[in-house]
């Protein structure tokens, strides 16, 4: 994608084996509750995390289409000026080449942070991610790995993106053993989760909800911190129904929870955060308490990751369920432009599903 896209859309937004030890997602550094905070939007929090990653590790590199001047969404602004064009650099418009290069860079013991300009264009790199990065460690019997690879990609609805700039492809990668899939819901989550991904010993696909780049604002710890991967978070306690989602959908679901509360329905809301490997235990414990489950995501309903959650919970909680598992998702169509409001799983659709499930 060329820089011309910025002009059209920008104004619309108010030795081969490394013996170096990798820090794991469980090593949480610098408790954020004891830090100073600053109000940041999501893209600024991502930018801050990338600054920290490059500052703290001289073997970290950021690369992708147009990243040297900041990228379409300005997430990499200032990085090339601060760290030089040998560590933050543009690549050809070739997603397969970007990820292939990142795999090699990571295999040599570096932190490769690759940006795919839009998640919709990650498909040309699908073979490199699925058949190379995900299997690198397994096929070599753990003699080699590309665990230092993090793939960043803006995903999901943007309000005017249509079928080439609004897709949610997370379910494709959740089917692949050997990689992790992480999606933050807010600026504070984005910074801490991205730093954990960069330092995790496995290749990770990190999807960033582009809708929230400038809309989501939160108090974010100024210094370095990491949030654990594969740990869901109960962000709202409830007793009548469990809601599970990720990314930008969490704010929509929370609005539905508030409206449901006015009608006497108590909703428990869970942010999955890491889709693979996902936190079954937290969701299971919640559903055993409430007896009901609703899952919502922007991706089409058929084959979406909500289906995996539904199947797993039915297997684990069948005797406790008081209603069928509900899914409020995108439609089984290409992502539309003028009909986006009909496609999206909005607050009213979720509220109706909550009431139907509770009244079952």
Would you name the residues annotated as active-site residues?
95, 165
Phi, psi dihedral angles at 116 (to 5 degrees): -100, 120
DSSP state, residue 248: T
CA pair distance 60, 255, nearest whole angstrom: 39
Phi, psi dihedral angles at 210 (to 5 degrees): -65, -25
CA pair distance 88, 61, nearest whole angstrom: 6
The CA angle 168-169-171, to the nearest 5 degrees, is 115
Q: Which helix (H) or strand (E) holds 224?
A: none
CA pair distance 76, 62, nearest whole angstrom: 8
CA pair distance 140, 325, nearest whole angstrom: 41
3-state secondary structure of 187: helix
CB-based burial label for 350 (10 Å; 0-12, 13-18, 19+): buried
CA pair distance 5, 19, nearest whole angstrom: 41
CB-based burial label for 12 (10 Å; 0-12, 13-18, 19+): exposed
3-state secondary structure of 96: helix
Phi, psi dihedral angles at 153 (to 5 degrees): -155, 125
Residue 96, both tokens: 């397969």
Q: How far apart are the first and last CA of the chain?
A: 48
């Amino acid at each position: 994608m060329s820089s011309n896209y910025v002009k059209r859309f920008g104004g619309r937004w108010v030795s081969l084996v490394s013996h170096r030890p990798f820090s794991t997602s469980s090593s949480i550094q610098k408790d954020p509750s004891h830090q100073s905070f600053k109000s940041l939007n999501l893209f600024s929090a991502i930018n801050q995390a990338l600054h920290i990653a490059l500052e703290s590790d001289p073997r970290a590199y950021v690369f992708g289409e147009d990243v040297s001047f900041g990228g379409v969404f300005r997430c990499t602004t200032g990085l090339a000026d601060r760290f030089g064009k040998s560590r933050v650099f543009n690549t050809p418009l070739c997603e397969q080449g970007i990820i292939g290069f990142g795999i090699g860079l990571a295999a040599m013991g570096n932190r490769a942070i690759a940006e795919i300009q839009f998640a919709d264009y990650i498909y040309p790199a699908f073979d490199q991610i699925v058949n190379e990065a995900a299997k690198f460690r397994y096929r070599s019997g753990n003699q080699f790995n590309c665990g230092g690879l993090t793939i960043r990609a803006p995903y999901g609805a943007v309000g005017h993106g249509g079928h080439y700039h609004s897709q949610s492809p997370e379910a494709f990668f959740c089917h692949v053993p050997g990689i992790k899939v992480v999606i933050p819901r807010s600026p504070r989550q984005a910074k801490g989760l991205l730093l954990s991904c960069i330092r995790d010993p496995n290749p990770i696909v990190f999807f960033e909800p582009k809708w929230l780049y400038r809309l989501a604002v939160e108090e974010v710890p100024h210094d370095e911190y990491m949030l654990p991967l594969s740990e869901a978070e109960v962000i709202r306690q409830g007793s009548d129904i469990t809601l599970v989602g990720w990314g930008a959908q969490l704010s929509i679901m929370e609005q539905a929870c508030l409206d449901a509360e006015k009608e006497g329905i108590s909703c428990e809301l869970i942010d999955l955060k890491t889709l693979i490997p996902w936190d079954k235990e937290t969701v299971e414990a919640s559903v055993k308490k409430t007896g009901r489950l609703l899952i919502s995501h922007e991706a089409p309903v058929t084959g979406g990751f909500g289906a995996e959650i539904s199947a797993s919970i039915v297997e684990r909680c069948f005797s406790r369920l008081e209603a069928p598992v509900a899914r409020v998702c995108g439609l089984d169509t290409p992502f539309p432009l003028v009909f986006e409001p009909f496609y999206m799983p909005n607050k009213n659709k979720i509220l109706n599903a909550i009431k139907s499930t509770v009244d079952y």
